[in-house]
Chain A
Amino acid sequence: MSAIRRLGGFRFWSLIPFVVVAAVFGIYPFLRVVQMAFGHVSVRGGGMTFEWRGLENFHRALEDDLFHHSLAISGIFVVATTVISLVLGTALAILTDRATKMQNVARNVLVWPAIIAPVVVSVVWVLILNPQIGVLNQALSTLGLPEQGWLGDGVGAMAAIIAVDVWHWTPIVYLLIYSALKGIDSEVLEAASVDGANRSQTTRHVVIPMLLPAIAAAAVLRVVMGVKAFDEMYLLTRGGPGDSTTIISLLIRGIVFDEVDLGYGSAVSLVTIGIVLVMAVLIFAVRPILRRRA
């Protein structure tokens, strides 16, 4: 009897801090966002009033060109950064695994960007991409090539923030894949080489299929990170030039803080969260299939 009571006691209180933090600081603010999304919140001198407006904000989101543009931009950003960092991360992991001399150094250096504050990453890249003082244009002019605007035109700026994000977060993919690689049973690989497969054949037909679950996990992570990306772009392009790099989190920031339209900002947030959820579910649905094939 007393053993059961003891168990019940610890069983509950071990979970309570987690539940309290998640509920009070996670779920409650989230419910506020849900509530605000269905109304018009105005901040006039003397505080904040909420007025029920039903689905109005969602209708507005359906018709808002800037939101659609921003979704498209985010879509491109998320797909490009996810795919490129998956390819590069996997390649780097395989290279590191093959390497003998450089293995230890590589495992160290290749992690650097992932541990640098996003704010600092933007500083790092301003010093590279800035058309006037950046090292990239300095290099071009030294080589006698024409200098570029980089962050100055829409396509260039988009390419630049994708490159920065890839630089920043490929190391995460690299680490995930690398540790999955370490987990592969070496007997499998030996068996393959006994069967006469050369190294690139082994990689293509044995190693990569076995890495697919890890790659899928990394993909989910990268998609979520892509949607949440904020700090670097906030300081690097502010969504510009024009609105060519206004990814969704920058759009929401503008609506909430520049236009102070909390109702609409919340609705846009909810729609975004919904899209992310659907995508995450889709990727997870594909995962078991990949695993079975592996």
Chain B
Amino acid sequence: MGIQRRSLFKAGALGFGGLATGAVLSGCGNNEGSLGDDSQPTATGANGAVTAITVATATTPWLDGYKAIIAEYEKATGVKVTLRDFPFDGLQTQQVNAIQQQSNAFDVFQVNEGWVGQFYSQGWLRPLKEIDPDFAWDDGIADFDGLSRWDEERQSTSPDGEVVALPLNGNIHVLAYRKDIYDELGLTPPTTWDEAITNGKAAMEAGLSKYGYVTRGQGAPGGNSVTFDFSCVLHSYGAEWINDPGTDWTSSIATPEGEAAMAKYLELLEIGPANPQTIDQAAVIAAIQSGDALQGHMVVAVAPQFEDPDKSNVVGKIGYAEVPGGPKGPRPISGAWTFGVPTGLPDDRSKAALHFMQWITSKEAQTSWAQKGGVITRADVLDAIGDDQPQLAAMRDSLPDVHQGIRYPFGQAVLQSTEVNLNKIVAGQSGITDGLKAISDDIDAAVSKAGLGK
């Protein structure tokens, strides 16, 4: 028995309507999400084509680049784009509010890797083929382990799923390292975690670096902090939070592989700053910027901050490579952003939104964005630009190995457990075996609560 929220409101509003508010309320009788649009710059031109769209985004290091590309879009098409930027989780709140009230406040949603399961599984994004029956996936766009496609049956992203979004920002892990110190010591960038640790210790012993390696140990409630960086090691040992979403919903983290990965992660943290349980992304960036750390794995998008002389002591000294690997090879994690069209948007606006998304992910736009240092999402453009931009070259080399982040419909519940328990292990408050077992149990509980698994 589902009651529409709107009709409930009307009933409530009538109750108070007697109180001198009749005049104001009288406007609400027949709106279908149109009243909230008054302040929206969405407009249609004389021929009925949409001439303005509103795009939601988060305040990120790549926002300025996005603005520049959008300016090019406006110039090329004459469509006015209003970009609304929010604090990182404010963006999620805003978009949830908008879909909940069907306010059509935004024409384009921007979805973080960590929200994918929620947004896709709840049907908050409209499949692109529904908007344009002729829509076809452009093979030049990188796949990021199925990031843009949702398989309703498997309740998971999958290369066979329905396309509901396009990748907007290809933020994946890369290794950032001090070229100058590596050269001085005659070392080459590590391909395994063991090499990374050996090199790190060598630089510390030579007195060239304060820290041999830096990565996150902080647990952020509602976030994806230590989980994200640890996943890079975890998956390189062959362990998975969920073995195979859609077919096998069990977890393999409380296994010898998972434990070995955790032990290796603690070794990495050991040659990093004190109190690893407090190290967040900002601390990782600061350790590289200040020149204290030899190396660390982090998302590509942070790279420009190392090259800004106002902020960084290591301008021109940082090299980039694919992340080191374990027994299963390297597994950089996708922390990408996608964008999509919110469900419930009128057809003409949906088409305009899709047009915008396709333009932004076109070869031409991506080439231009890449030249400005953007973390682009087209493999063909990454191939073409060569080694001019070392962080993009490292990204290009990493694409075949990219592993998905946490994209389950119940991802929040998993993260709630991993962030707390990994943080405890890192802080030494719980042992590796116990900590991983606790996570594994929580994942089982989340799976069964979601009605998946058996």
Q: Which residues of B contact A149 (CB under 8 A)?
A: 274-275, 277-278
- Check B427 against A23 for contact (C-beta < 8 Å): no
- Check A152 against B275 for contact (C-beta < 8 Å): yes
Q: A46-B343, A238-B223 are in contact. Are A153 and B277 (CB under 8 A)?
A: yes
Contact of B344 among A41, A45, A133, A254 (CB under 8 A): A45
Tell whether A75 is near chain B: CB-to-CB under 8 Å. no
With both chains docked as a complex, state the minimum distance between the C-beta of B382 and any C-beta of chain A, in angstroms. Answer: 33
With both chains docked as a complex, state the minimum distance between the C-beta of A196 and any C-beta of chain B, in angstroms. Answer: 57
With both chains docked as a complex, state the minimum distance between the C-beta of B206 and any C-beta of chain A, in angstroms. Answer: 23
With both chains docked as a complex, state the minimum distance between the C-beta of A151 and any C-beta of chain B, in angstroms. Answer: 6
The segment from B14-22, B192-200, B366-374 found at the interface with A is: B14-22
Q: Which residues of A contact B413 (CB under 8 A)?
A: 259
- Check B123 against A44 for contact (C-beta < 8 Å): yes
Q: A16-B20, A151-B278, A242-B424 are in contact. Are A259 and B283 (CB under 8 A)?
A: no
CB contact list, A240-260 vs B, under 8 A: 240-243, 246, 250, 254, 257-260
Compute how far the CA of A239 lies from the CA of B5 in the bound complex, rounded to whole angstroms. Answer: 31
- Check B8 against A132 for contact (C-beta < 8 Å): no
Contact of A241 among B277, B283, B344 (CB under 8 A): B277
Tell whether A272 is near chain B: CB-to-CB under 8 Å. no
Which of under 10, 10 to 19, 20 to 34, or 35 or more describes the interface residues of B?
A: 35 or more
Report the nearest A residue to B102, measured CB to CB. A47
- Of the candidates B4, B92, B99, the one having the most CB atoms from chain A within 10 angstroms of its own CB is B99
Compute how far the CA of A238 lies from the CA of B8 in the bound complex, rounded to whole angstroms. Answer: 34
Compute how far the CA of A3 lies from the CA of B103 in the bound complex, rounded to whole angstroms. Answer: 50
- Check A246 against B221 for contact (C-beta < 8 Å): yes
Q: Which residues of B contact A112 (CB under 8 A)?
A: none
Q: A16-B19, A240-B423 are in contact. Are A257 and B89 (CB under 8 A)?
A: yes
CB contact list, B264-288 vs A, under 8 A: 273-275, 277-278, 283, 286-287
Contact of B412 among A42, A51, A259 (CB under 8 A): A259
Tell whether B185 is near chain A: CB-to-CB under 8 Å. no
Q: Which residues of B contact A259 (CB under 8 A)?
A: 412-413
Q: Which residues of B contact A133 (CB under 8 A)?
A: 286
Compute how far the CA of A266 lies from the CA of B273 in the bound complex, rounded to whole angstroms. Answer: 42
Compute how far the CA of A261 lies from the CA of B124 in the bound complex, rounded to whole angstroms. Answer: 15
CB contact list, B404-436 vs A, under 8 A: 412-413, 416, 419-421, 423-424, 427, 429
Taken residue by residue from 108 to 119, chain B's Cβ proximity to chain A (1 for < 8 Å, 0 otherwise) reads as: 000000000010
Q: Is the interface of A mostly helix, strand, loop or mixed?
A: mixed
With both chains docked as a complex, state the minimum distance between the C-beta of A185 and any C-beta of chain B, in angstroms. Answer: 46
Contact of B221 among A52, A152, A242, A257 (CB under 8 A): A242
- Check B283 against A131 for contact (C-beta < 8 Å): yes
Report the nearest B residue to A43, measured CB to CB. B100
Tell whether B222 is near chain A: CB-to-CB under 8 Å. yes
Which of under 10, 10 to 19, 20 to 34, or 35 or more describes the interface residues of A?
A: 35 or more
Tell whether A19 is near chain B: CB-to-CB under 8 Å. yes
Tell whether A202 is near chain B: CB-to-CB under 8 Å. no
Report the nearest B residue to A150, measured CB to CB. B278
Compute how far the CA of A71 lies from the CA of B343 in the bound complex, rounded to whole angstroms. Answer: 37
- Check A45 against B277 for contact (C-beta < 8 Å): no
Compute how far the CA of A260 lies from the CA of B89 in the bound complex, rounded to whole angstroms. Answer: 13
- Check A241 against B423 for contact (C-beta < 8 Å): yes
With both chains docked as a complex, state the minimum distance between the C-beta of A13 and any C-beta of chain B, in angstroms. Answer: 9
- Check B218 against A152 for contact (C-beta < 8 Å): yes
- Check B277 against A49 for contact (C-beta < 8 Å): no
Tell whether A32 is near chain B: CB-to-CB under 8 Å. yes
Name the 9 nearest CB pairs between A and B, nearest first: A45-B123, A152-B278, A45-B343, A149-B275, A242-B420, A49-B2, A239-B221, A48-B5, A149-B278
B binding-site residues for A, Cβ under 8 Å = 1-6, 8, 12-13, 16, 19-21, 89, 92-93, 96, 99-102, 118, 122-126, 218-223, 273-275, 277-278, 283, 286-287, 343-344, 412-413, 416, 419-421, 423-424, 427, 429
Could you list some 26 contacts between A and B, CB below 8 A? A19-B19, A20-B21, A24-B19, A28-B13, A44-B122, A45-B123, A45-B125, A45-B344, A47-B100, A52-B1, A131-B275, A149-B278, A151-B278, A153-B277, A238-B222, A240-B218, A240-B423, A241-B218, A241-B423, A242-B421, A242-B423, A254-B221, A257-B96, A258-B89, A258-B412, A259-B413
